[in-house]
Amino acid sequence: MHDTKQQWFKDAKFGLFIHWGLYAVLAGEYKGKRTERIAEWIMNDLDIPVEEYRKLVGQFCPSKFDADALVKRAKEQWGMRYIVFTAKHHEGFAMYDSKVSDYNVVKETPYGQDIVRQLRKACDKYGMRLGFYYSQAQDWNDPDGYMYGKDNSRKNYRAYLERICFPQVRELLTEYGEISIMWFDTPMGTTPEESRELYELVKSLQPNCIISGRIGNDMGEYLTTGDNFIPSLPYEGDWEVPATLNDTWGYNQYDHNWKSPEEIIRLLVKINSRGGNYLLNIGPKASGEIPEESIAILDEVGAYVNANGEGIFGTKHVGIYTYDLDWGMFTRKDYKLYVHVFKPRIRLEFLNIGNKVTGAYLVSDKSELEYETCITCDGFRMIEVKVPKEYHGRKNYCICLETEEAEPMYQPIEKGTIPKAFWSRA
């Protein structure tokens, strides 16, 4: 079981992923050709020669980037607890002032400013945790990086590690304050020894920095699921789903396949109910602007998160309830079962939950709710919560059932406990 041993990560539940690099300049299109892959893979997908791709530095001038406004929004409006930023993606371009390689935002772009430093400053100001995505194996700009020219046959990965990867990881962990996560990705052919070295390097510089699942060779401190893949069952330990709002990580001007705020709220609660964190991505444009669709979606999601955070942050997985409700989902803490209600209801019914309920309230304003515990005519236990009149037509709210027992007591489907009883009080 994965255990970060860090309570903040277990409690965090909702984070912001930011994918930003030179690929934002192309925004999904190169010389009139559109990529049908994730936009940050455009160099690989459309076989753009290294020398051609490198010229994009001249067009990277994000005058509208506002790290302060973004972090403030993520914290206050969206309710997110941590940010993971692409310090260097597979393209090999560093979004910070790297002394290791000139291929970086400060040295080679007309913009000339350190993006990571701006984020650091804003995160400190708003009390936001900051982590870095760092592509430790793939580097399409370096002959010794994986997938350079899509050809791994002549590379010397050892040389790459020593020349680029280790020194850049060292920079990121010594020049930018407390880093909460190192988010490694696509370990490719990394050997256990190489993963171990990278792990040890991170820990020697910042022992509290959590290492993502994709350092390779099972050495991550938490489990990272597949991109946009959600485990179908609750999962013990610490884990995270990295996910997108549309079908790309880096900005793609042609991708309009946005999920609705409602879908995102459900995905968040679903992931939380199974015990995981949701690391949800935005891909800023080359101008520095955040796509307006992303902002609109996250503002609405954030309204739910801020109103119902008690039923999100610090929750644990709910185990496997007897039934799959079509109108809601559970999250829980000790002595509290939260119910996120996604469809209008007059009554909330919970069949085969054996707990003694000691109270019920609406999470957003703590107002008390009426409830009853009954035995159905089949002899099953039923908890019923009355929905207040003004909520009859509403959806997307959260209630809490307080229980005498710390954990939910789901009862099996097969057996009624008191046969022939007819709606008598339990």
Residues that bind ligand H79 (CB under 6 A): 19, 37-38, 40-41, 44, 185-186, 227, 242, 249
**Of residues 188 and 374, the one with the C-beta less far from ligand H79:** 188
**Of residues 19 and 73, the one with the C-beta less far from ligand H79:** 19
Give backbone dihedrals phi and psi of 259, rounded to 5 degrees, phi first.
-75, 150
Asked if residue 12 lies in contact with residue 313, where contact means CB atoms within 8 angstroms, the answer is: yes
Q: Which one, of 108, 100, 216, lies nearest residue 166 by Cα?
A: 100
**Of residues 271 and 375, the one with the C-beta less far from ligand H79:** 271
Beta carbon of residue 139, minimum distance to ligand H79 (angstroms, whole number): 12
Beta carbon of residue 167, minimum distance to ligand H79 (angstroms, whole number): 22
Beta carbon of residue 94, minimum distance to ligand H79 (angstroms, whole number): 15
Give backbone dihedrals phi and psi of 89, rounded to 5 degrees, phi first.
-100, -170
Q: How far apart are CA 275 and CA 13, in angstroms?
A: 9
Beta carbon of residue 201, minimum distance to ligand H79 (angstroms, whole number): 21
Give, in order, the Cα–Cα distances in Å from 192 to each of 24, 184, 197, 408.
Answer: 34, 14, 9, 41
Give backbone dihedrals phi and psi of 268, rounded to 5 degrees, phi first.
-60, -50
Residue type, 135: S
**Of residues 44 and 246, the one with the C-beta less far from ligand H79:** 44
Q: Which one, of 351, 276, 342, lies nearest residue 308 by Cα?
A: 342
Beta carbon of residue 403, minimum distance to ligand H79 (angstroms, whole number): 38
Structure tokens at 269: 């609660």
Conformational region of residue 111, where left means phi above 0, alpha means psi within -120 to 50, and beta covers everything else: alpha
**Of residues 59 and 186, the one with the C-beta less far from ligand H79:** 186
Give backbone dihedrals phi and psi of 400, rounded to 5 degrees, phi first.
-125, 130
**Nearest residue to ligand H79, using CB?**
37
Beta carbon of residue 333, minimum distance to ligand H79 (angstroms, whole number): 30
Asked if residue 160 lies in contact with residue 190, where contact means CB atoms within 8 angstroms, the answer is: no
**Of residues 179 and 341, the one with the C-beta less far from ligand H79:** 179
Q: CB burial class (10 A; 0-12, 13-18, 19+) of residue 66?
A: middle
Beta carbon of residue 20, minimum distance to ligand H79 (angstroms, whole number): 11
Beta carbon of residue 25, minimum distance to ligand H79 (angstroms, whole number): 16
**Of residues 44 and 98, the one with the C-beta less far from ligand H79:** 44
Per residue, the 3-state secondary structure of 20-59, as one string, reads CCCHHHHCCEECCEECCCCHHHHHHHCCCCHHHHHHHHHH
**Of residues 264 and 400, the one with the C-beta less far from ligand H79:** 264
